[in-house]
Structure 1
Amino acid sequence: MSLESLNIDVCCLSETRIQDSGEVLQIRSPSVDSKSLFYVRLSGDPVASSSGLAGVGTALSARAEAALIDWVPINSRLCAVRLESSINVRRNRREKRCLFVISAYALTDCSPDAVKDEFYHQLSVLLQKVRSTDIVVLAGDLNAQVGRLGTEESRLGDRWGLVGRSSDNGDRLLQLCTDHNLFLDSTSDSF
């Protein structure tokens, strides 16, 4: 399987261990007869680069690359792209909207609270750059378990998940979703 065969236009990357946010890499699908190019942008910082840790980025299809409005590299754990798009608002009416896709790689639960606080602060600052008409997608590895959402939290997503399996990062993610009016979709399927 490949991004091309799955018709994926935007893919968030984690643990790239490459930190050069100034370069756009062009990669071709591994399929022998493929002519599809993907454009890879990576985000990092000098500290992470010297240790070879973390690294995030996005891989955009040619179609998504053509719709790219803005590339927002933050550090080795956060970056975003804003893409021009449109949605159906009524049967015969489309409306222009931007898709704001954040690629995130959160620290693990065993990381110090101060470092996790800084990550979620930077993520919150990034979310403040979102326009009211943008469609927001937060994707990547958030190292969070939210468990089964309670009645009060059900507006954040469907109520699937394991009872009692919430983690500190899960609580932080739920608070972020509450603060920024985000919907959790990774918990919407029963496994």
Structure 2
Amino acid sequence: MEKYNKDILCISETRISGSGSIVITAPETLHQFHFFYSGVEGNSGLHEVGFIMNQRTRDALLEWEPVSCTLARIRLKGNPANVSIISTYASTRDATETTKDNFYGELQQLSSSIAARDYLIVAGDFNARVGPSDQTTRQIL
């Protein structure tokens, strides 16, 4: 994070079950980072999402909401407005239509609950595919 001058990362596939937060110390610099993760207890951790932030961003944290293994939300104090960030991990195309509909319904509901005056950022892995797959794209991807 420091090398690329990033204050916050939205991450997916954390491989940690349950929800919570821990402090991580970078071995090279001894700077501390705060890791907030959202998931289901006893789950494999494959789809869990979260945020990693530096101390400055942690100091601006107003709210942390672990929603599910595919959605989490934070709210940061900002100027001129607060910032809400949703970290996502969408189902792959192999998922059932019901699973996909549930995810997007939950995302819509969460997005609608954000204060109207907040800036909203939705980030994460949407497992998007554009256009049909062919021999060339299979070799690239």
| Length-normalised TM-score, structure 2 | 0.87
Does 1:29 pair with 2:26?
A: yes
Unaligned runs of 5+ in 2: 134-141
Task: Please name the residue that 1:45 is paired with.
Answer: 40
Task: Please name the residue that 1:4 is paired with.
Answer: 2
Q: Percent identity?
A: 35
Q: Secondary structure at the match of 1:19?
A: coil
Structure 1 vs Structure 2 CA RMSD: 1.7
2:84 equivalent among 68, 92, 100: 100
8 Å Cα contact 1:81-1:100 kept in structure 2 = yes
1:17 is displaced (CA, Å) by 1.7
Runs of 4+ displaced beyond 4 Å: none
Distance 1:27 1:51, change over 3 A: closer
1:124 is displaced (CA, Å) by 0.6
Does 1:130 pair with 2:114?
A: yes
Q: Pairwise mapping of residues 130-149 of structure 1 onto structure 2 (< 5 A)?
A: 130-145=114-129, 147=130
1:66 is displaced (CA, Å) by 0.3
The CA distance in 2 between the partners of 1:63 and 1:127, in whole Å, is 25
Does 1:120 pair with 2:108?
A: no
Higher Rg of the two aligned structures: 1
8 Å Cα contact 1:18-1:52 kept in structure 2 = yes
Q: Pairwise mapping of residues 34-183 of structure 1 onto structure 2 (< 5 A)?
A: 34-46=29-41, 49-86=42-79, 95=80, 97-145=81-129, 147=130, 165=131
Q: Secondary structure at the match of 2:105?
A: helix
Alignment deviations for residues 67-87 of structure 1 (CA, whole Å, 9 cap, x no partner): 00000111111001000011x
Structure with more relative contact order (C-alpha pairs < 8 Å, separation 6 or more): 2
8 Å Cα contact 1:4-1:36 kept in structure 2 = no
| Length-normalised TM-score, structure 1 | 0.65
The CA distance in 1 between the partners of 2:25 and 2:127, in whole Å, is 30
Select between 67-76 and 11-20 the one with higher mean Cα deviation.
11-20
The CA distance in 1 between the partners of 2:4 and 2:106, in whole Å, is 32
Count of residues in Structure 1 that have an aligned counterpart in Structure 2 = 133
Which AA in structure 2 matches 1:127? S
Q: Secondary structure at the match of 1:6?
A: coil
8 Å Cα contact 1:68-1:84 kept in structure 2 = yes
